[in-house]
Amino acid sequence: MTQAQPYSATEEKMARYAKALSHPARVFILRFLEQQCACFAGDISEQLPMANSTVSQHLKVLKEAGLIKGSFNPPTIEYCIDKENWTEAKALFEAFFTPCC
């Protein structure tokens, strides 16, 4: 007998977005990318006081959550906000934080 999933697809998405936002470096990266059309990982690394490998790990988390996109542009990767998922995340959080009463 299979047990039903207790969480809705919306709750799963929201949790994925929230987890991606749970580190200040990732929030910073999103704010930085929000102000750019697109930029390279090196541009982002220059803005943060951490190793390039650490920045890459944060970019990976944001990409896996769907909040950013990366396109390989040899020899580096160009990153930008994923507008569709960004809009969805914003709507989910706005609905969540809007009082029900």
pLDDT at 20: 98
The pLDDT score that the predictor gives to residue 97 is 92
- Nearest CA among 71, 62, 66 for reference residue 22: 62
Q: Which two tokens stand for residue 63?
A: 């990409």
User: By three-state DSSP, how is residue 61 classified?
Assistant: helix
Question: Do the strands 68-73 and 39-40 form a parallel or antiparallel pair, or are they unpaired?
Answer: unpaired
**What pLDDT is recorded for position 37?**
82
Question: Which pLDDT belongs to residue 2?
Answer: 62
Can you list the pairs that 46-55 forms with residues at least 24 positions away whose Cβ atoms lie under 8 Å? Answer: 50/25, 54/25, 55/25, 55/29
Which CATH fold topology does 11-95 show?
Answer: Arc Repressor Mutant, subunit A (1.10.10)
User: What residue ranges of the chain have pLDDT lower than 50?
Assistant: none
pLDDT for res 38: 84
Domain extent listing, the chain: 11-95
Q: What is the mean pLDDT of the chain?
A: 92
Query: Which pTM does this prediction carry?
Result: 0.88
